């Protein structure tokens, strides 16, 4: 569940959704570390194949499917509010990152 939550929270920096309650910056280090954890534990994690597919794309800086990625995790979590509708523009993403991750 922690892997699922981390993917969901990181996707918020890439997608437009009506509600976002959590924020986790999708850094290369964080993506690499999470992918390693999921791969090492794939035999005991539900949905590990999905997590690996998402994280491998993200590891290659490919966020073009982030809306689908977000909504796949959102569906698994049984959410009803906050479905992603599109990718953020570069400007929107920069503003989101500035608002939620820059301390200064």
**pLDDT per residue over 62-90, tens digit each?**
999 999 999 999 999 998 899 999 999 99
Residues 6+ apart with CB under 8 A from 66: 11, 14, 15, 84, 87
Tell me how far apart the terminal alpha carbons of the chain are, to the nearest angstrom.
31
**pLDDT per residue over 13-62, tens digit each?**
999 998 898 999 999 999 999 999 999 999 999 999 999 999 999 999 99
- Count of residues making up the chain: 104
Contact 83, 74 (CB under 8 A): yes
CA-CA distance, 10 to 30, in Å (whole number)?
Answer: 9
pLDDT reported for residue 21: 87
pLDDT tier at 5, thresholds 50, 70, 90: very high
Closest CA to 51 of 93, 84, 11: 11
CA-CA distance, 25 to 67, in Å (whole number)?
Answer: 16
pLDDT reported for residue 103: 57
């Amino acid at each position: 569940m922690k892997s699922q939550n981390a993917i969901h929270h990181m996707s918020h920096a890439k997608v437009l959704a009506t509600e976002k309650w959590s924020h986790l910056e999708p850094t290369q280090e964080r993506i690499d570390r999470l992918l390693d954890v999921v791969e090492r534990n794939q035999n005991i994690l539900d949905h590990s194949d999905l997590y690996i597919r998402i994280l491998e794309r993200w590891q290659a800086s490919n966020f073009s499917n982030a809306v689908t990625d977000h909504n796949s995790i959102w569906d698994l979590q049984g959410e009803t509010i906050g479905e992603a509708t599109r990718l953020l523009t570069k400007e929107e993403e920069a503003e989101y990152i500035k608002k939620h991750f820059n301390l200064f």
